[in-house]
Amino acid sequence: NAGVTQTPKFRILKIGQSMTLQCTQDMNHNYMYWYRQDPGMGLKLIYYSVGAGITDKGEVPNGYNVSRSTTEDFPLRLELAAPSQTSVYFCASSYSQPSYGYTFGSGTRLTVV
């Protein structure tokens, strides 16, 4: 029962580099989300998906891209890393019924230097 698995757990990028944060869930959840957490700022929604092939922007989408080719996977792509993208990134999933909370991954700490 893995839940939501995020990789990597830590990463240091240089300005202008690209990378993909991986997220996989094995609970057959329809909805998946990417959040970023900055110190003292709570969590902010980057992108979300309500099912395979469907994605939409959240509150802070600039500088990121996502895809959802399967129910299980929801990778987050950073194309040209900037220092402002230094943050902790969380992937989460849920059933469509809003009474359920989310199941979160363990997070990825990304530093852009």
Per rule CB under 8 A, is residue 74 in the interface with other proteins? Answer: no
Task: Pick the closest to residue 32 from 104, 113, 110 (CA basis).
Answer: 104
Per rule CB under 8 A, is residue 43 in the interface with other proteins? Answer: yes
Per rule CB under 8 A, is residue 90 in the interface with other proteins? Answer: yes
Per rule CB under 8 A, is residue 53 in the interface with other proteins? Answer: no
Per rule CB under 8 A, is residue 102 in the interface with other proteins? Answer: yes
State the pairing for strand pair 10-13/108-112.
Answer: parallel
The footprint of other proteins on this chain (CB under 8 A) covers a number of residues equal to 24
d(CA 59, CA 56): 10
Closer residue to other proteins (CB): 31 or 64: 31
- The window from 11-19, 42-50, 68-76, 79-87 that contacts other proteins (CB under 8 A) reads 42-50
Q: Tell which one of 56, 69, 83, 111 touches other proteins (CB under 8 A).
A: 56
- Supply the minimum distance, in Å, between the C-beta of residue 37 and other proteins: 9
Say how many residues make up the chain: 113
